Amino acid sequence: MINKKVLSAIIFIICLSLFLSACAPAATPTARAAGLRNRPTRTAEPPTAIPATSTPLPPPTATALPPATATLTPAPLMDFSGASVYSSGIMMPHYQGLITIKVKAAIVGQYYAIVQDDKPYTCTTYSDQPHLLYCIGPLAAVQKFVHFALFQKGVTYAIFQADVWMPMIGTPFP
């Protein structure tokens, strides 16, 4: 039988040869070894220079930009900072939403409202109640809060906003 020392030496030599062969660079196959024919290679030709012309380039021209136009958004006719929701409910007999806004001064101008981001309301005043703005439109909800945004015609931003409770109570239109 083989001595333990000899067996250990053989295993060591095998491991060492595997380690060294793994570290050696791999041989790259040549065209002949891969079974391909040797083909003549082309040498790259230097690029031909384009002769400079004596034609001068045109001078740069200044391009005029159109003048900036200022788009003015008209200011609201009234100050709605002290406004409040006076009443809300369902207007009978057509089951429309009614939201009434109260302000300190007599209301001047034309107004409309958007309820719940998509329901348009028409807003009107009455000469005998100049401090109240009545807004009527499609019923957005019942027994829930709805978002109310008031706009003046011609002004692109909401001049008054509130979350309004819409009760189930019917309100006769004044």
The verdict on residue 111 lying in a domain is: yes
Work out how many domains the chain is built from and give that number: 1
For the ranges 24-38, 41-55, 104-118, the one whose mean pLDDT is highest: 104-118
With respect to residue 24, please indicate whether it lies within any of the assigned structural domains. Answer: no
pLDDT-derived band at 94, boundaries 50, 70, 90: confident
More reliable by pLDDT, 12 or 90: 90
103: in domain: yes
Residue 138 lies in a domain: yes
CA distances from 93 to 90, 119, 171, 173 (A): 9, 19, 9, 9
Mean pLDDT for the stretch of residues 139-161: 93
Domain that residue 158 falls in: 84-171
pLDDT category of residue 31 using cuts at 50, 70 and 90: very low
On average, the pLDDT of the chain sits at 78
Question: Does residue 88 belong to any structural domain of this protein?
Answer: yes
How much is the pLDDT for 127?
A: 92
35 within domain boundaries: no
Quick one: pLDDT band at residue 5, thresholds 50, 70, 90? confident
Q: Which residue has the higher pLDDT, 99 or 4?
A: 99
| pTM as predicted | 0.55
Per-residue 3-state assignment (H helix, E strand, C coil) for 101-156 = EECCCCCCCCEEEEECCCEEEEEEEECCEEEEEEEEEECCCCCEEEEEEEEECCCC
Say if 5 falls within a structural domain. Answer: no
Residue 97 included in any domain? yes
Mean pLDDT in residue range 25-51:
55
pLDDT for 172 beyond 60: no
CATH number of residue 145's parent domain: 2.60.40
Quick one: pLDDT at residue 8? 77
